[in-house]
Structure 1
Amino acid sequence: MIYFNKRCIAGRYLGKAAFLFLLALTGVFRTQAQRIGLNRPDHDDWRYYFGMSISYNSSYLHTSKNPRFYQNDSILVTEPGSKGGIALGLLGTLRISNHLEFRANPQLIIGGSKYITYTLKNPSPGESIIEQKLMPSTIVGFPFHFKFNSDRIHNFRVYLLGGIKYDLDLASNSAARNAEDLVKLKKGDFGVETGIGFNFYLRFVTVSPEIKFSQGLTNIHSRDPSLKYSSVFDKLQSRMIFFTLNLED
């Protein structure tokens, strides 16, 4: 049997679209910046500054099968997927040196439900061959990043970021009553994040489009061997991609 992973192809197209979007946005802002003088030339000397962020995010679950999966007489194939969500956050940045800053970005991630699609070997009466189990998600996230800044070129600058995060899923169902159709997820998740962004210094605000990748390190699967749709997995780990627009003073 050959298993074709559609999610990989979708991921490639999503990455290319994100790159082209950021490239186009960079060109627009740089052209605009060249038409005007230097904005807020003393901004990079500020010890700290604040802002807000709005993001579109897409998340899915990285799965690790249980060794007994291929002996399972109920489930033939599993495929994780996701729906997009919106994240709203606050920004606080502390300047460490000319090229290094520390940033906190607490945020609320609304939507972005995860789901797993199952292909059943021997569906019960009333079941279809394809079953989809949805896991709603409302996350309070606490990312902490180090930002590595390039030199400022007129009203433009590039930065890389990397750091850690802790997420708390308010919609976690790990304490829910056992039911055969549940896949239980734990509340807490620890992970790492990395990304790239662009600072555009406007007259009264700094606008920063950013793309960020997040990888959970924690096994958030609350496994129950007695549950049909849960027992096939050993580990479930979160993966997220954010397309963000930051507005800072």
Structure 2
Amino acid sequence: MALTYLRHQLHLHRHKIIGFFLLALLSSGQQTLAQGKLKGENLPGYEHKRLRWGFSLGVNASWYQLEHSELYVEAIKSNPDFSVNEKTGIGFNVNFISSYRLSPDFVLRAQPGVGYHSRAIEYKGMPADDDNGIAGGDVTQEMNTFAGELPLLVKYESKRRKNSQMYFIAGVKPSLVVGGQKKGSEYLQVKSLDFAVEYGVGLDMFYPFFKFAPEIRYSRGISNIHKPSPGMFNNSIQQLNTNTITLYLNFE
């Protein structure tokens, strides 16, 4: 797929992606501070509204955190060149936003939407498995999936200063894969349902007709989504957890 090809061509590793997201958020904050010096207060009292609606667009970096199985430990004793490691991929998110104010400082947010995630497991020096039709060698199992997601979050807002305010956000996110999974022993098998905890930081920026908020959020899957199945692609792993860092652009 085009996104996977781009990742390989540009050598986009996890730490570089995280750094890019942080720089984008800081850049947005600097622009807001400059704007506040030039203009008066936009949307006065908007931060006190009880119910708000909007949408968000996001770009994410996703990877699996894996735990090797006992079979893998035995395999590397006879084949030291054999290794199984995760790789990071790039994806995107599209979400709706529904916010309800609980108190002057706290807001409850539901953010249902769809996420595209590109994750991969790299197998190097894998032994052949004729029974399951696996030739062996160096193989990368890519998992490019679409998932329906329902983040339920609590947002803590700082005091508004002219046209900006910082906030912290945290909550949970159940998700269900709706497309992209492959079946068969020649593919890595994962469960469709996942449950994650999320937390992050953002900056509300008030414009004359809408509120814009860049936000960076980390998501950690707490359920084991590995599905036991025959073949070295699956037998080498006993636990898989999802990890995602997303830069959201929220509009309300």
Q: Work out which of the residue numbers 236, 242, 247 in structure 2 matches 1:243.
A: 247
Q: Work out which of the residue numbers 145, 154, 178 in structure 2 matches 1:137.
A: 145
Partner of 1:78: 84
Alpha-carbon contact 1:150-1:159 (below 8 Å) kept:
yes
Partner amino acid for 1:238?
Answer: T
CA change 1:124–1:164 in 2 (3 A) is closer
Partner of 1:168: 176
Cα distance between partner residues in 1 of 2:67 and 2:212: 39
Is residue 40 of structure 1 aligned with residue 46 of structure 2? Answer: no
Cα distance between partner residues in 1 of 2:18 and 2:144: 24
Cα distance between partner residues in 2 of 1:44 and 1:157: 9
Higher mean C-alpha displacement, 71-80 vs 133-142 = 71-80
Q: Work out which of the residue numbers 209, 221, 235 in structure 1 matches 2:226.
A: 221
Partner of 2:155: 147
Aligned residues: 235
Q: Work out which of the residue numbers 197, 207, 213 in structure 1 matches 2:202.
A: 197
Residues 173-203 of structure 1 deviation map (CA, whole Å, 9 limit, x = unaligned) = 48x3x32x21111110011000000000100
Cα distance between partner residues in 2 of 1:109 and 1:11: 19
Superposition TM-score, scaled by structure 1 size:
0.88
Partner amino acid for 2:242?
Answer: S
Alpha-carbon contact 1:172-1:185 (below 8 Å) kept:
no
Partner SS, residue 179 of structure 2: coil
Partner of 1:89: 95
Partner of 2:4: none
Q: Work out which of the residue numbers 20, 26, 31 in structure 1 matches 2:29.
A: 26
Residues 200-244 of structure 1 deviation map (CA, whole Å, 9 limit, x = unaligned) = 0100000000000000011111112x2121001000111111011
Alignment gaps of 5+ in structure 2: 1-11
State the Cα distance separating 1:32 from its structure 2 match.
1.3
Partner SS, residue 24 of structure 1: helix
Alpha-carbon contact 1:172-1:186 (below 8 Å) kept:
no
Alpha-carbon contact 2:13-2:88 (below 8 Å) kept:
no
Partner SS, residue 124 of structure 2: strand
Partner of 2:70: 67
Partner of 1:117: 122
Q: Work out which of the residue numbers 33, 57, 61 in structure 2 matches 1:54.
A: 57
Is residue 206 of structure 1 aligned with residue 211 of structure 2? Answer: yes
Cα distance between partner residues in 2 of 1:122 and 1:51: 51
